[in-house]
């Protein structure tokens, strides 16, 4: 389902990252967000669950933002950093360097001037920005031309909770099976900041040659700075103007780590508590991503070999298996507390097992491009609201061409995995 868009295309990076992580599934709506912070996850489950068609598990890949809500067909506008909703801890605020302490508000024009000052010499056009007092967070974007082709560049600013899952996610390189890319690295800077440098593509299926290079910085104080560049004048629907985006990884690092941005983030007013807002309900326990991956491997048929694996901190895991006849991508989401959307996910034709578990199966195309990609899915929900949904593709990823006619796992294999009692034990033990 589409995410509501605001006027800034850099607000859309969340949907964009989800679309990249889920592959080329935006057209048929086969997307499923697989995590998020406690409040966002609970409030947005209804939106992420009502998908028509199949399910594409979405890892919280750090390729452009905190993944809190589903993108579906949305996110076509580009990218944005996390909105300034998380509050830095008291200890972090106390230890923040003077240049990053709360300061006077900064206008969008000031942010634009800062961005232009930090870029190599060149011409600028199509400028747009929003200051630190804006409701949806500050950003600056422009088209930059160094004489070798015009390119879109944008920076967006926000806060994340220091040391949180969200902070780790936005600086963690995605798995190649989920988000095809050329290079990606994560490092810890001397001041304790985490920096991710990513070189990939605007479209994971490479249907056009638009490249997107990205730098994500999260400081110990919770400042989040996101810098994106393309090899075209716009992130979407614009001709490629040069082989690569203009800034090298070293230049991306220099721009994104400039202290000016931390000063700007410090000037963003913290969102006050809303006394009318109901208290956040307790979040059901979620299984660790590595534990999900390990459990999934233990439930695979004996005649397949695991050739690759991955996951995230909670709710999602994947493996690539091969039975000697070609690779198969297998993914699983283990989502507790989904009773509130049960009626949207499971219709009256769903099979009901003796213990009350509901089961549905789907066999269909893995994309809408006629590539022959096939996705088979078994979706289940227990009486306590625990949803386990597992899918298999006839390819080694959700974006690459088929390696075989059908997945290596049968619907029976997927059903056995999804209905296993091990998932209930796993969630109970955390």
* Residue 17 located in a structural domain: no
pLDDT of residue 281: 55
Rounded CA separation 72/116 (Å): 34
Give tens-digit pLDDT for 298-316.
999 999 999 988 766 678 8
| Of the residues 233, 251, 266, the one at which a domain ends | 266
What average pLDDT does the chain have? Answer: 77
Q: Are 82 and 65 in contact (CB under 8 A)?
A: yes
| Of the residues 266, 301, 334, the one at which a domain ends | 266
Between residues 115 and 174, the one the model is more confident about: 115
* Residue 218 located in a structural domain: yes
The percentage of the chain sitting over the pLDDT mark of 70, rounded to a whole number, equals 70
Domain that residue 349 falls in: 289-429
**Quick one: pLDDT band at residue 102, thresholds 50, 70, 90?**
very low
Rounded CA separation 180/397 (Å): 9
pLDDT of residue 280: 53
Same domain, 213 and 293: no
Same domain, 260 and 149: yes
pLDDT of residue 309: 84
Same domain, 103 and 183: yes
Rounded CA separation 332/390 (Å): 4
CA atoms within 13 A on the CB side of 264: 31
In the block, which residue shows the tokens 């199949």? 54
**Quick one: pLDDT band at residue 273, thresholds 50, 70, 90?**
low
* Residue 212 located in a structural domain: yes
Same domain, 327 and 182: no
pLDDT at 94 over 90: no
Same domain, 223 and 368: no
For the chain, what is the domain count?
Answer: 2
Between residues 17 and 413, the one the model is more confident about: 413
Same domain, 260 and 343: no
Nearest to 186 by CA among 212, 215, 146: 215
| Of the residues 233, 266, 299, the one at which a domain ends | 266
Give tens-digit pLDDT for 235-267.
888 999 999 999 999 999 999 999 999 999 999
Same domain, 314 and 184: no
pLDDT of residue 284: 58
DSSP H or E run through 232: none
Same domain, 318 and 401: yes
Q: Are 193 and 220 in contact (CB under 8 A)?
A: yes
Same domain, 221 and 335: no
Domain of residue 303, CATH code: 3.40.1000
pLDDT of residue 227: 97
Give tens-digit pLDDT for 57-85.
333 333 333 222 222 233 323 333 333 33
Same domain, 227 and 87: yes
* Residue 312 located in a structural domain: yes
Nearest to 93 by CA among 223, 217, 218, 226: 223
Show the tokens assigned to 132. 């630190």
pLDDT at 6 over 70: no
Q: Are 148 and 124 in contact (CB under 8 A)?
A: no
Give tens-digit pLDDT for 209-228.
899 999 999 999 999 999 99
Same domain, 207 and 345: no
What's the rounded mean pLDDT across residues 21-32? 33
* Residue 4 located in a structural domain: no
CA distances, 175 to each of 209, 311, 318, 430 (Å)? 20, 8, 10, 24
Residue 155: φ, ψ to 5°: -130, 140
* Residue 35 located in a structural domain: no
Rounded CA separation 176/169 (Å): 15
Same domain, 239 and 295: no
């Amino acid at each position: 389902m589409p995410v509501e868009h605001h006027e800034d295309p850099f607000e859309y990076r969340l949907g964009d990252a989800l679309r990249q992580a889920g592959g080329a599934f935006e057209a048929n709506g086969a997307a499923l967000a697989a995590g998020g912070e406690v409040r966002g996850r609970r409030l947005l489950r209804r939106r992420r669950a009502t998908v028509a068609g199949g399910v594409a598990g979405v890892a919280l890949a750090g390729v452009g933002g905190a993944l809190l809500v589903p993108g579906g067909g949305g996110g076509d506008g580009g990218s944005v950093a996390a909105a300034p909703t998380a509050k830095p801890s008291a200890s972090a605020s106390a230890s923040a360097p003077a240049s990053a302490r709360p300061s006077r508000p900064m206008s969008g024009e000031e942010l634009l001037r800062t961005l232009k000052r930090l870029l190599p010499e060149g011409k600028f056009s199509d400028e747009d920005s929003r200051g630190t007092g804006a409701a949806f967070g500050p950003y600056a974007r422009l088209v930059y031309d160094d004489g070798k082709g015009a390119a879109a560049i944008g920076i967006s600013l926000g806060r994340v909770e220091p040391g949180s899952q969200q902070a780790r996610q936005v600086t963690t390189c995605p798995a190649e099976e989920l988000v095809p890319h050329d290079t990606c690295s994560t490092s810890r800077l001397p001041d304790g900041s985490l920096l991710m440098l990513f070189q990939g593509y605007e479209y994971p299926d490479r249907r056009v040659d638009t490249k997107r290079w990205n730098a994500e910085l999260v400081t110990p104080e919770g400042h989040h700075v996101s810098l994106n560049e393309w090899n075209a004048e716009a992130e979407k629907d614009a001709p490629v103007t040069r082989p690569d985006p203009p800034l090298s990884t070293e230049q991306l690092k220099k721009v994104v780590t400039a202290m000016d941005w931390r000063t700007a983030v410090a000037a963003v007013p913290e969102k006050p508590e809303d006394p009318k807002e109901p208290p956040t309900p307790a979040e059901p326990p979620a299984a660790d991503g590595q534990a999900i991956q390990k459990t999934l491997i233990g439930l695979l048929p004996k005649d397949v070999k695991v050739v690759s694996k991955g996951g995230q901190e909670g709710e999602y895991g994947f493996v690539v298996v091969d039975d000697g006849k070609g690779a198969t991508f297998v993914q699983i989401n283990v989502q507790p507390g989904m009773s509130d959307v049960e009626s949207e996910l499971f219709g009256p034709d769903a099979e009901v097992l003796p213990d009350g578990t509901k089961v549905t199966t789907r066999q269909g195309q893995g994309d809408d491009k006629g590539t022959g990609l096939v996705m088979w899915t078994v979706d289940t929900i227990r009486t306590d609201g625990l949803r386990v949904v597992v899918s298999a593709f006839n390819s080694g990823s959700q974006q690459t061409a088929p390696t075989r006619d059908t997945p290596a796992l049968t619907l029976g294999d997927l059903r056995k995995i999804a209905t296993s009692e091990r998932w209930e034990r796993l969630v109970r033990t955390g």
